[in-house]
Amino acid sequence: MKNKKLLNYSDYLQLEKILSGQELMSAKRGTPAHDEMLFIIVHQVYELWFKQILHELDSVMSIFKQESIIESDISFVVLRLQRIIEIQKILIDQIRVLETMTAMDFLEFRDDLFPASGFQSAQFRLMENKLGLLNDHRIMYGGKNYTSVLKEQEKSTVQSSEEEKSLFELLESWLERTPFLSFKGFDFWKQYSKAVRSMLEQEKLIILDNPNYSQEEVEYHLNEHENAVLSFEAMINEERHNKLIVDRKKRLSHKATQASLLILLYRDEPILHSPFNLISRLIDMDELFTSWRQRHALMVRRMIGAKIGTGGSSGHKYLREAADKHKIFSDLADLSTFFIPRSALPELPTDIKQNLGYQFKQ
């Protein structure tokens, strides 16, 4: 121990490697562009944050791969997801730094980048796959498979991740194992369906009995009400729900959807706090990735207009379409459509409430 070399801050962080990793392509042709340094550093920082997100995701997924998941595990998952969310906020804020570079500044070195592009980020593709973005849901990249632009070694790693269980699939499996959907004579789905139909019938009567509506307004609101009824019925009926999955209008299984709705509707019950926070964090993550893509698309439009991207994609158009389509946990976010007031919720039997709460006896 006496001969142990004292650890140095610079050596620990390997700063020599990191700080010598900014090679300006514009300098190689004799006219270094000032803003290329900013461009490189911002994207290097992105990749470091992507590495941290993958580190957190792997930790979360390892928990969900366990045969038995206890409540403290879910609390741990929520903390990990919250960390990812805070990183995502930084990713969005970094765009503001990059936007201090003008379109004219970018043109000074843009041609030096061809055909390199952010679309070649293997880590970002790994994140998408690990979260659960399906290959056939992707926007085509210049008419080719998204892995075609990756380096061979990276391509193999990314393609392998397509075969692994994603966070979406692991979550779905966990939700399907949720107790209390049918427990000691209480059938949540049956009681919920009855409450929904009763609520919808009341809403129809309110429309018909409203003295302030004209005949045209009554017909309009009845039509909207009928759409709501059809939406709820498709939600309640397993066969209709499965048809929506086949038609790629939904993805989450009917049983997992039931469990999610139970968790969200009865979130006030102590034992459901952590599952509720888990679902909320997944929705937050999905929304923040969408926000990042949207901000990225706006920045690209500002920088290059309608030009193609350096990697040969349609630039702004591709990014805008990806922001609209590359969502993973939409089914969870859409569940708010099927919320009913707390006052209309089926009352839980006493023994179930006791199982969902914490009992301290002296």
- pLDDT of 362: 39
Q: What's the pLDDT at 176?
A: 93
For the chain, helix (H) and strand (E) counts, in that order, are: 17, 2
Give the Cα separation of 356 and 35 in Å (integer): 57
Element (H, E) at 176: helix 167-176
Amino acid, res. 110: R
d(CA 294, CA 343): 38
Q: What is the pLDDT along the chain (362 residues), one digit of tens a residue?
A: 566 788 999 999 999 999 999 999 999 989 999 999 999 999 999 999 999 999 999 999 999 999 889 888 999 999 999 999 999 999 999 999 999 999 999 999 998 888 888 889 999 999 999 999 998 888 876 677 889 889 999 999 999 999 999 999 999 999 998 876 666 677 888 888 888 888 889 889 999 999 999 999 999 999 999 988 888 888 888 999 999 999 999 999 999 999 999 999 999 988 899 999 999 999 999 999 999 999 988 988 888 776 555 544 456 777 788 778 889 999 999 999 888 888 888 888 777 777 666 544 43
CA 227 to chain centre: 28
pLDDT in the model for residue 36: 96
Domains of the chain: 31-356 (1.20.58.480)
Phi-psi category of residue 178: left, alpha or beta, with phi > 0 → left and psi -120 to 50 → alpha: beta
3-state SS assignment for residue 9: helix
C-alpha 278/C-alpha 259 separation (Å) is 13
Identity (one letter) of the amino acid at 241? H
**Whose structure tokens read 């043109």?**
107
Nearest to 270 by CA among 188, 352, 343, 345: 352
pLDDT number for residue 42: 96
What one-character-per-residue DSSP string does 72-118 give?
A: HHHHHHHHHHHHHHHHHHHHHHHHHHHTTS-HHHHHTTGGGGTT--G
CB atoms within 10 A of CB 263: 24
By CB neighbour count within 10 A (0-12 exposed, 13-18 middle, 19+ buried), where does 316 fall? buried
Strands (E), the chain: 182-183, 186-187
pLDDT at 303: 85
**What pLDDT, on the 0 to 100 scale, is given for residue 133?**
95
State the helix-helix crossing angle for 273-304 and 254-265, rounded to 10 degrees: 100
Does residue 207 contact residue 225 with C-beta atoms inside 8 Å? yes
Find the angle CA(279)-CA(284)-CA(290) to the nearest 5 degrees. 130
CB atoms within 10 A of CB 160: 11
